[in-house]
Amino acid sequence: MALSRKALAPRASTTLDVIRQILGTLAARNQAEDVLTCVRQIPAREATFRPMPEWTRSDLREAYSAKGISQLYSHQAITAELVHLGKNVVVVTPTASGKTLCYNLPVLNEVLENPDTRALYLFPTKALAQDQLAELHDLGTRLDDRFGVFTYDGDTPSDARKAIRERGHIVLTNPDMLHAGILPHHTKWMRLFENLRYIVIDELHTYRGVFGSHLANVLRRLQRIARFYGSDPQFICCTATIANPGELASQLIEQEIEVVEENGAPSGEKLFVFYNPPMIDRNLGIRRSYVKEATRMTNELLARKLQTIVFANSRLQTEVILTYLQQRNQPKPGQAEPVRGYRGGYLPRERRDIEHGLREGRIRGVVTTSALELGIDIGSLDACVMAGYAGSIASTWQRAGRAGRRTGSSCAIFVASSAPLDQFIVQHPDYFFGSSPEHGHIQPDNLEILVNHLKCAAFELPLSPDEKFGGVDLPDLCERLAEAGFLHQSGNNWHWVQESYPADTISLRSVTSDNFIIIDITGGDAGKPEVIGEVDFTSALTTVHEKAIYIHQGQQYHVERLEFDHRKAYVKRVNVDYYTDAIRYTQVRVLEIAEELACPGPSAHAHGDVLVRSQVVGFKKIKFFTNENIGAGKLELPENEMHTTSFWVTLNHVLLQSLPFPLSDRQSGIFGLLHALASMATLLLMCDRADLGTAVGERMAGTGSEVEWQEFSSSGIEKEFFEPNLYVYDAYPGGIGFSEPLYQAYGELLVQTQELIEACPCENGCPSCVGPAGEKSERAKEVALAILAQLCSMELSVDRQ
Amino acid sequence: MSSNPVNHVADRFARLKALQRPASVAQTKMTAGTIESQCEAPSRTAGETGAERLATLLGATVSRTPHGEHLSLLSIHCEQAPCIADSDALHLLMPNAPEEVADSSQWLFLDTETTGLSGGTGTYPFLIGLSWWEGSRLKIEQLFMREFSEERSMLAAVAERLRERPVLVTFNGKSFDWPLLETRFRMVRDIATPPLRAHLDFLHPARNLWRPRLGSVKLSHLERHVLGWDRGEDMSSGDIPRIYLEFVRGGDAEPLVPVFMHNQMDLRGLAGLAGRILSIFGDQEKPLEDGLELYGLSRICERRGQAERARTTYEQSIGASLPVETDRAARAALAQLAKRDRDFDRACELWESLLGNSREGYEAYEQLAIYYEHEARNAHLALAITRSALAQLRCARQSAMINASQYRASKLEFEHRRLRLERKTQAMPPSLFSS
């Protein structure tokens, strides 16, 4: 798409002027290329106001008007009114639309009317709860502290907990704490549960997939306990824009809910730019590094005094970009770093400091993962740079929304990586701007998840045979749990009969709740070891294995020792010119086939239960700036096992034999095909790429057992496949409901994959279609297309029948 | 404790002991040498359920309440005299105690055995041991739920006993047993949580008195080292939840017998320990001999505002032999008390004995400097003391006897004082003011 000079002509607003200057330079430098595939101006929107509801108490009205709020945006007023009428409500609120008032106004009004009223607010992270605490304290001060607001999470000191249970009118917590800290001790929270009127669920859209399925079960338990104490709380939910807010919310709370989709908040104008880094080798399909391009773009913005937030898609990229940016933006003498990193592994105090610095403008740039995608108050920034596609349309809008609040202009720049999804989006801006954002899917009756929460429920209150818990046959399930020694029936009810505390072993977010702590021992014996951060179990295997280079706040650390059993990694500060990238090996075994369709030709596709074993077996050292592979190492880390669901395609021996290519080309073609299939699957399912795992396994003809097969050894050893299975599995234990839809959409998946590969301008395959050519044979693209052609023709013949 | 104990344990209790040979040894020792006739354990009759078997083994009976039934086992023990709480002891134990507390016949000792140690609403007390003084005898009633459905009845019985004796006495009950029972009362709902007049938890005084000396303040440990009792081969309390849960799932009744024994021993140990603590708290005529116990007692007295008694016991503790650190802490505390009484002669003497490279040592330099400046009005002497503190700090730093942050903090403080005192002394020549 060529840009007209007019589109880049200066306008009145200064931020946009600056952006247009930068874009002009870029367009000039890369005239031959269509690097700017889209420059779209989103106009400013006027506010729609409504008066405060009549029932608002005068003291609350005064408190708000002292904060400068004397009338409401329309969605705030509608939501407050529905809550006042006793309805459950979910309100769709883009960034900076004043969502907290939607729930605070009706809740505080009721608390002030009747001081017995209690409310529970749930936020997906501790940081968001802290943020809300500040807002509510401010209102509290204006209302003579007539109500108590507290956060209750893992950081709450134990001597403060009792007071919170008794005196907290509003308790701000997170689903994990509710699950493991509050529900199992509900008798201590009697005051709260007896008077529980409102449950607020903020950032509802984050409760998708496995986390959402867990939350739905936690809410089943919460509602069960509320009933025990005779209360029937109302739900107030807020969500970013997703395709199905009402459906997701009602699946989560298992009640009817009103949806408010109107948005009365104003917004400033915004320039949305799609940037595709220029091609540097058309043969190999290699584009200039998007990480470096995003860094360069950010440097331009920072140089023009625009406060900028940069989103990267992994912790590693965050640190790499931060390193580049800090080299160019050194602090002035005696001043703090102007560019900082912000992600999950940083300690809370460090994060608070960064948030504060951003609001004050002391910090000019921040590089983050999705950690800052949610509504943490960091003030209004001028620009947002996204290094790589956020994975979903909804997330992209959320990220873009972090720049520019209610007034003034801002810009959002998406820098595409060479990943297939990125390339698809950057080349189809109309698809992006024209589609609705993703659906939130959950599977509350996923048996693994449900059974875990049923155990917790039995611990909390003996289960009665007349109860309902999700869509399962409760007496039957309890019977089975009794046989396994978890429950015991006595006087009709089932009681928990284990010494352990079930919630402790069940994490809502990942396979395991263990975190590794990272300890800096640079000082040696004389210095004091210092904890510099923590990392969750799954990431630990790939980021803090021995000899890894762990990067924290732009500083490199060499991992000296990993104490796996104690969950500790000991690191020393180093200064090297490379980073490390872990090599993971995955093996899949089919446990049970749910449905299988064998075509009357040489292939089959199926979905069902699988066991996925994965292990980090080695790592590569990669040089900064040139990305050369400068070495490798082997690792011996424990295996990780996961029972999940998968979709797979089996290629028959006959089909493979019919391909006019040698063995090594066929292998590359199979991996290339899987690469492309998985990319298109994320688009079809509207899910995150990280939600899906892929693996190639082999079914020996005539047997059900799998033979190990390691991708990274493919360059060395050649091995004949008999009947390879191409797996696309749900990357969560128990599965999250992607496999069946994928099985149903098989035909569409094949056609779209074929289109993706055919339309790709590269010659022999590139990261945007069948994966990088360098690591595979040169004919991967050709082979993949040949296999696809056969699969498609068979699929067509099936359709005709 | 009791000098000439008589044993009145019911004969079914003898049967019980016979079952548990190691425990019967312990029993013998705990009851100070009384020899019991041992009889054979009743053999199992056909068709007997686990719960019936347990009742037979223990000689327990089924108790009925308006809320159902549960198993109940009564026993009587006479090896100790009832606790006597005089007003001094009471004040140290619980200031402003309600008057019932002074009457130990109002006390109800309680110890529970549970299905887990992690707490939470899914943890059940399956055995609740209660105990009280009846005349000179200690009566123990153990309530047991044979099934989860019997919990209600068992709790009703606990509520009833607490109405009769509303002063609860426990060991670690404030953080474990009582919150757990409160949870259970809330869970069953139709039995109100019985109100307590007072709750005496002897863990806290025991910790103050004996942790410095013994390290561990586990009840069985205290019995052995403070009361001189020997439990013999007691079971490990970590096994208790598993034993009960196996029984409920249809396992044997036999392994539960030592659990009942263990619970009885805990209750008797608690009663014994309570008596010992009260006698230490009350008896001012017969002083303790162990320096560390004296030190612990002094700290309790000081915390309860009994400054005079604290001074006496601190003096006694430093007179006995104390480890170096404790001795310093005792001297420093005593000096503070002397200062509060404006007994500066004693205070200065103690401070001077403390001077040196330790936390108390630097505090002593500071206190002396304050004393000379503001009380003795001798700024020159105060300055000299401050200078020697700084010299001490430098010396400690050079020989790496003090860590960097402590050094910096103390140095800053003394430097401040030195500068101020130097200004002051320059304004007031010594010849005019020193005596």
Question: What confidence tens digit (pLDDT) does each residue in A133-175 have?
Answer: 888 998 999 999 899 999 998 878 888 888 899 889 999 999 9
> Rounded to 5 degrees, what are φ and ψ at A781?
-65, -45
Best of B121, B188, B240 to mutate (most A CBs within 10 Å, chain A) = B121
Q: Which of B66-70, B78-82, B96-100 has the lowest mean pLDDT?
A: B78-82
Of A186, A460, A501, nearest to B118 by CB-CB distance is A501
Is residue A33 domain-shared with residue A56, that is, in the same domain?
no
Best of B146, B148, B246 to mutate (most A CBs within 10 Å, chain A) = B148
The more confidently predicted of residues B392 and A683 is B392
Question: Which residues on chain A are in Cβ contact (under 8 Å) with B122?
Answer: 184, 458-460, 495-496, 501-502
Task: For residue B337, give both structure tokens.
Answer: 């008390």
Q: Same CATH fold, B287-354 and B11-282?
A: no
The answer to whether A501 contacts B120, with C-beta atoms less than 8 Å apart, is: yes
Q: How confident is the model at residue A626 (pLDDT cuts 50, 70, 90)?
A: low
Can you tell me the distance from the alpha carbon of A505 to that of A61, in angstroms, rounded to the nearest whole number? 46
pLDDT score recorded for residue B25? 32
Give the contacts of A32 (CB within 8 A, at least 6 positions apart).
none
Tens digit of each residue's pLDDT (9 = 90 or more) over B271-290? 999 998 988 888 766 767 78
CA distance A456 to chain B (A): 9
Q: In a 3-state reduction of DSSP, which class is residue B65?
A: strand
Can you tell me the distance from the alpha carbon of A245 to that of A207, in angstroms, rounded to the nearest whole number? 11
Q: How confident is the model at residue B100 (pLDDT cuts 50, 70, 90)?
A: confident
pLDDT, mean of residues A707-723: 46
The more confidently predicted of residues A770 and B367 is B367
Question: Hey, which of A293-297, A526-530, A765-769, B85-89 has the most confident mean pLDDT?
Answer: A293-297
Q: Which of A32-36, A220-224, B211-215 has the lowest mean pLDDT?
A: A32-36
Give the contacts of B33 (CB within 8 A, at least 6 positions apart).
none
Question: Which residues on chain A are in Cβ contact (under 8 Å) with B242?
Answer: 499
Is residue A423 domain-shared with residue A539, that is, in the same domain?
no
Is residue A639 domain-shared with residue A786, that is, in the same domain?
yes
Residue A59 has pLDDT above 90, yes or no: yes
CA distance A552 to chain B (A): 27
Is residue A278 domain-shared with residue A318, that is, in the same domain?
yes
Can you tell me the distance from the alpha carbon of A55 to that of A240, in angstroms, rounded to the nearest whole number? 28
Mean pLDDT of chain A: 84
Residue A379 has pLDDT above 80, yes or no: no
Q: Which of these, A226, A236, A171, A180, lies nearest to A204 by C-alpha position?
A: A236
Interface check B246 vs A, CB under 8 A: no
pLDDT score recorded for residue B18? 36
Question: Which residues on chain A are in Cβ contact (under 8 Å) with B182?
Answer: 187
For the domain that residue A157 is a member of, what is the CATH number? 3.40.50.300
Of B118, B121, B124, nearest to A461 by CB-CB distance is B121
Question: Which residues on chain B are in Cβ contact (under 8 Å) with A187?
Answer: 121, 182-183, 186-187
Question: Which residues on chain A are in Cβ contact (under 8 Å) with B241?
Answer: 499
* Residue A488 bridge partners (DSSP): A495
Is residue A717 domain-shared with residue A789, that is, in the same domain?
yes
Question: Which residues on chain B are in Cβ contact (under 8 Å) with A459?
Answer: 120-122
Residue A657 C-alpha from the chain's centroid: 41
Q: How confident is the model at residue A317 (pLDDT cuts 50, 70, 90)?
A: confident
Residue A353 has pLDDT above 90, yes or no: no
pLDDT, mean of residues A213-234: 96
Measuring CA to CA, how many Å separate A275 from each of A198, A390, A422? 45, 14, 10
The more confidently predicted of residues A98 and A766 is A98
Interface check B286 vs A, CB under 8 A: no
Interface check B182 vs A, CB under 8 A: yes
The answer to whether B187 contacts A500, with C-beta atoms less than 8 Å apart, is: no
**CB hemisphere CA count around B385 (13 angstroms):** 24
The answer to whether B118 contacts A496, with C-beta atoms less than 8 Å apart, is: no
Best of A166, A178, A183, A187 to mutate (most B CBs within 10 Å, chain B) = A187
pLDDT score recorded for residue A418? 77
Is residue A300 domain-shared with residue A392, that is, in the same domain?
yes
Residue B62 C-alpha from the chain's centroid: 34
Interface check B187 vs A, CB under 8 A: yes
Expressed in angstroms, the distance from the first to the final Cα of chain B is 59
Can you tell me the distance from the alpha carbon of B96 to that of B109, in angstroms, rounded to the nearest whole number? 21
Question: What percent of chain B is helix, strand and coil (3-state, nearest 5)?
Answer: 60, 10, 30
Residue A579 C-alpha from the chain's centroid: 24
- Contact assessment for residue B379 and residue B424, using Cβ atoms and an 8 Å cutoff: yes
pLDDT score recorded for residue A131? 81
Residue B19 has pLDDT above 50, yes or no: no
Q: Which of A739-753, B102-116, B258-272 has the lowest mean pLDDT?
A: A739-753
- Contact assessment for residue A271 and residue A412, using Cβ atoms and an 8 Å cutoff: yes
Is residue A207 domain-shared with residue A185, that is, in the same domain?
yes
Can you tell me the distance from the alpha carbon of A718 to that of A721, in angstroms, rounded to the nearest whole number? 10
The answer to whether A490 contacts B147, with C-beta atoms less than 8 Å apart, is: yes
Residue A22 C-alpha from the chain's centroid: 31
Task: Note whether residue A448 is domain-resident.
Answer: no
- Contact assessment for residue A652 and residue A787, using Cβ atoms and an 8 Å cutoff: no
pLDDT score recorded for residue A2? 41
Question: Which residues on chain B are in Cβ contact (under 8 Å) with A485?
Answer: 249
Residue A714 has pLDDT above 70, yes or no: no
The answer to whether A186 contacts B241, with C-beta atoms less than 8 Å apart, is: no
DSSP code of residue B49: -
CA distance B122 to chain A (A): 4
- Name the residue range of residue A537's domain: 515-576
Is residue A18 domain-shared with residue A103, that is, in the same domain?
no
Of B121, B124, B242, nearest to A184 by CB-CB distance is B121
pLDDT score recorded for residue B39? 41
Q: What is the sign of the dihedral through the CA atoms of A640, A642, A647 and A648? A: positive
Interface check B242 vs A, CB under 8 A: yes
Mean pLDDT of chain B: 84
Give the contacts of B319 (CB within 8 A, at least 6 positions apart).
B291
pLDDT, mean of residues B417-428: 87
Q: In a 3-state reduction of DSSP, which class is residue A396?
A: helix
pLDDT score recorded for residue B344? 93
Task: Note whether residue A1 is domain-resident.
Answer: no
The answer to whether A485 contacts B249, with C-beta atoms less than 8 Å apart, is: yes
Q: Which of these, B173, B168, B166, lies nearest to B204 by C-alpha position?
A: B173
Residue A117 has pLDDT above 60, yes or no: yes
Question: Which residues on chain A are in Cβ contact (under 8 Å) with B248?
Answer: 488, 490, 497
DSSP H or E run through A559: strand A555-563
pLDDT score recorded for residue A625? 61
Interface check B377 vs A, CB under 8 A: no
- A568, with CB counted inside 10 A (0-12, 13-18, 19+), is middle
The answer to whether A488 contacts B122, with C-beta atoms less than 8 Å apart, is: no
Q: Label residues A271-302 b or e (16+ Cβ within 10 Å = b).
A: bbbbbbbebeeeebbbbbbbbbbbbbbbbbbb
pLDDT, mean of residues B365-379: 92
Question: Which residues on chain A are in Cβ contact (under 8 Å) with B117?
Answer: 499
* Residue A39 bridge partners (DSSP): A273
Can you tell me the distance from the alpha carbon of A16 to that of A716, in angstroms, rounded to the nearest whole number? 53
Tens digit of each residue's pLDDT (9 = 90 or more) over A685-708? 767 666 788 888 875 433 333 444
The answer to whether B241 contacts A187, with C-beta atoms less than 8 Å apart, is: no
Task: For residue B331, give both structure tokens.
Answer: 């001297």
Tens digit of each residue's pLDDT (9 = 90 or more) over B294-319? 898 998 899 888 888 888 889 888 88
Can you tell me the distance from the alpha carbon of A289 to that of A741, in angstroms, rounded to the nearest whole number? 35
- Tell if the pTM clears 0.95, that is, is over it: no
The answer to whether B117 contacts A499, with C-beta atoms less than 8 Å apart, is: yes
pLDDT score recorded for residue A658? 85
pLDDT score recorded for residue A10? 40
Q: What are the residues of chain A with a beta carbon less than 8 Å away from any beta carbon of chain B? A: 184-188, 190, 458-462, 485, 488, 490-491, 493, 495-502, 504
**CB hemisphere CA count around A489 (13 angstroms):** 14
Residue A12 has pLDDT above 50, yes or no: no
Residue A112 has pLDDT above 90, yes or no: yes
Give the Cβ contact number of residue A436 at 10 Å: 12
pLDDT score recorded for residue A600? 60
Is residue A567 domain-shared with residue A706, that is, in the same domain?
no
Q: Which of these, A46, A768, A43, lies nearest to A416 by C-alpha position?
A: A768
The more confidently predicted of residues A374 and A248 is A248
Q: How confident is the model at residue A534 (pLDDT cuts 50, 70, 90)?
A: confident
Best of A185, A496, A528 to mutate (most B CBs within 10 Å, chain B) = A496
Torsion angle defined by CA atoms of residues A147, A152, A157 and A158, in that order, rounded to the nearest 10 degrees: 100
Structurally, how many domains does chain A consist of?
A: 5
* Residue A646 bridge partners (DSSP): A608, A729
Question: Hey, which of A334-348, A556-570, B31-45, B254-268 has the most confident mean pLDDT?
Answer: B254-268
Residue A568 has pLDDT above 80, yes or no: yes
Choosing from A228, A260, A292, the residue where a domain stops is A260
Tens digit of each residue's pLDDT (9 = 90 or more) over A489-515? 998 899 999 988 888 878 776 544 467
- For chain A, state the CA radius of gyration: 27
The more confidently predicted of residues A126 and A297 is A297
Can you tell me the distance from the alpha carbon of A583 to that of A710, in angstroms, rounded to the nearest whole number? 11
Of A459, A495, A500, nearest to B148 by CB-CB distance is A495
Q: Lay out the sheet containing A170-173: strands in order across.
A: A149-151, A170-173, A118-122, A196-201, A234-239, A89-92, A258-260
Interface check B124 vs A, CB under 8 A: yes
pLDDT score recorded for residue A722? 66
pLDDT, mean of residues A580-609: 82
Which residue of chain B comes nearest to A483, CA vs CA?
B249
- B287-354: CATH architecture: Alpha Horseshoe (1.25)
Report the CATH number of the B11-282 domain. 3.30.420.10
Give the contacts of A270 (CB within 8 A, at least 6 positions apart).
A41, A42, A400, A403, A404, A409, A410, A411, A412
Is residue A561 domain-shared with residue A649, that is, in the same domain?
no
Question: Which residues on chain A are in Cβ contact (under 8 Å) with B147?
Answer: 490-491
CA distance A501 to chain B (A): 7
Is residue A588 domain-shared with residue A528, that is, in the same domain?
no
pLDDT, mean of residues A10-30: 73
The more confidently predicted of residues A285 and A144 is A144
Q: Which amino acid makes up residue A546?
A: E
Is residue A209 domain-shared with residue A326, that is, in the same domain?
no
Domain ranges of chain B: 11-282, 287-354, 355-435
Task: For residue B350, give both structure tokens.
Answer: 């103690």
Q: What is the sign of the dihedral through the CA atoms of A652, A657, A659 and A661? A: positive
Residue A210 has pLDDT above 50, yes or no: yes
CA distance A336 to chain B (A): 24
Interface check B398 vs A, CB under 8 A: no
Interface check B428 vs A, CB under 8 A: no
Residue A282 has pLDDT above 80, yes or no: no
The answer to whether A184 contacts B122, with C-beta atoms less than 8 Å apart, is: yes
